[in-house]
A and B are shown apart, each in its own frame.
Chain A
C-alpha cells in the first residue's frame, strides 16, 4: 500500500466530516434524511474497498530506493514522471492540463 490516504481512508474521512460537522447543522428534515442516506451509501463504498487487495508498490519503492542511493541515469526522470502522471490521473486530472 503506498498511495495514502487510500480510497478507503478518504471515504472514512468524508464519513467523519459528515457525521461530526455537517449533520449537526442540518435542521431541514428532508435534507437531514438525504444526508443520512448519502452517509450510508458512503459506508457501502468504505466496506467494499475493504475487500480489495492493497496496491502493489514494489516497483515504486525500488525506484525511490535507487534514486536515494544516487543511481540516476538519463531514463530516470521519464520513469518518475510517468509514475506521477498516473497518480495524478486519479488525484487531480485537470492539473495535468496546466502542463500541456
Chain B
C-alpha cells in the first residue's frame, strides 16, 4: 500500500493518543487514499491494526458517522460476513472521531486487481457475501436511512450545472422503473476497489460509510458500472468476470428472482449516481471544503461516465 509523508508532529500526537487507548504500539503510518477519512496502520503487539479517523473539516451528506459505520461493521462481522474484525470505537482521538479494526492482507487497488489473475471464485464470492449483507435485519441498524432515486435529482440540482446526459439518464430511470423490491440493508458502494482480494479471492469488504436501506438490486448492479472495471471493459463485473454467474449465485443464495433486465436498469442507475458523484466531489474542491486536484479533475472526468450513460441508453433503444 502507498504511504504518504506526514509531518513528524502529527505522527507523534497520533501515537500518544492511540497508546492511551491501545497500550504500546508501533509508529503509526498514514496510508494514502480516501479524502474524507484518514487511515493509519499500526501494530500493537502481534495485532495488525488499521485506524480510521475523520479528516479535518469534512462534512458529507448521506454518509455515516464513524460511530455508525463502526456499528454497521460490527453487525456485518457478527453476521459472518467477510470484513475486518472491528475492535474499538473512539469518540475522540486527538480531536476527532475514529475507530480501530483489523488490518487485512491483500490488494484493494482496483487497477491492480483487474490486471492480476484473480481467483475464478471471486465473482461468486462477491455474490454470496452480498446475499449475506442483504440478509442483515434493518432493526439491527435502525439509524440506516432509506434512499430513493429522487435523491439523485436533488443532488444534481445542488451542483447547479447543466448535464443533459445525466438528465436523460434520470428521465429513463423514471420512465422504466421495475416494480420495487422490499428494501434491504445495503452496502452502498459494493464494487472492486472497496474489497480486499488475495489469491484465494475475497478477503474482506471495506468502506461501509455509504450503507443505507435500498432496493437490493441497487448494490448488485453497482459493481457493473464501467468505471469500476478499471479499463478491463469486456468483463462486466468490475473487470474480473461476467455478470451472469454473479447474478445466478446471488439469486440462488437470496431466493430472489432478479432478472437480467433489472440488473441492466440498476447498472444505468449506478452510472447516473456515479456521474453525479463526480460532480459533487468536484464541488467539495470548488467550495473549499476539501481542496484537491484529485477531486477537482473528477468534475471533468464525469464526462466519461456520461458517455457510458449514452451508450447504455442506446442499448436500451432510447
Q: In which size bucket is the chain A interface?
A: 35 or more
Of residues 10 through 44 on chain A, the ones whose CB sits less than 8 Å from some CB of chain B are 10, 13-14, 16-17, 25
Of residues 244 through 292 on chain B, the ones whose CB sits less than 8 Å from some CB of chain A are 279, 282, 285-286, 291-292
A80 to B285, CA, bound (A): 27
B292 x A77 contact (CB < 8 A) = no
- The listed residue (A14, A72, A80, A95) touching B304 by CB distance below 8 A is A95
A84 x B300 contact (CB < 8 A) = no
Of residues 34 through 91 on chain B, the ones whose CB sits less than 8 Å from some CB of chain A are none
- The listed residue (B171, B279, B293) touching A13 by CB distance below 8 A is B293
Q: How far is the CB of A2 from chain B (nearest CB, A)?
A: 5
- The listed residue (B164, B233, B304, B318) touching A60 by CB distance below 8 A is B164
* A10 and B297 in contact, given A80-B168, A84-B306, A88-B307 (Cβ under 8 angstroms): yes
B299 x A80 contact (CB < 8 A) = no
* B8-16, B108-116, B309-317 - interface stretch: B309-317
For A38-73 the 0/1 string (1 means CB < 8 A from B) is 000000000000000000010011011101101010
Main secondary structure of the interface of A (DSSP, over half): helix
- The listed residue (B5, B161, B285, B301) touching A91 by CB distance below 8 A is B301
Could you say which of B164, B167, B286, B313 has the most chain A C-beta atoms within 10 Å of its C-beta?
A: B164
- The listed residue (A5, A16, A67, A96) touching B307 by CB distance below 8 A is A96
Cβ-closest chain B residue relative to A89: B303
B167 x A92 contact (CB < 8 A) = no
Main secondary structure of the interface of B (DSSP, over half): helix
- The listed residue (B164, B233, B314) touching A83 by CB distance below 8 A is B164
* A80 and B162 in contact, given A4-B282, A5-B299, A16-B291 (Cβ under 8 angstroms): no
A88 to B313, CA, bound (A): 18
A13 to B286, CA, bound (A): 9
A80 x B303 contact (CB < 8 A) = no
For A74-100 the 0/1 string (1 means CB < 8 A from B) is 001101110111011011100110110
B300 x A92 contact (CB < 8 A) = yes
B286 x A9 contact (CB < 8 A) = yes
What are 14 A-B interface contacts by the 8 Å CB criterion? A10-B293, A13-B296, A16-B291, A16-B293, A60-B164, A63-B162, A63-B164, A64-B167, A65-B162, A72-B318, A77-B314, A80-B310, A85-B307, A91-B300
Q: A-side interface residues toward B, CB under 8 Å?
A: 2-5, 9-10, 13-14, 16-17, 25, 57, 60-61, 63-65, 67-68, 70, 72, 76-77, 79-81, 83-85, 87-88, 90-92, 95-96, 98-99
Q: B-side interface residues toward A, CB under 8 Å?
A: 5, 161-165, 167-168, 170-171, 233, 279, 282, 285-286, 291-293, 296-297, 299-301, 303-304, 306-307, 310-311, 313-314, 318
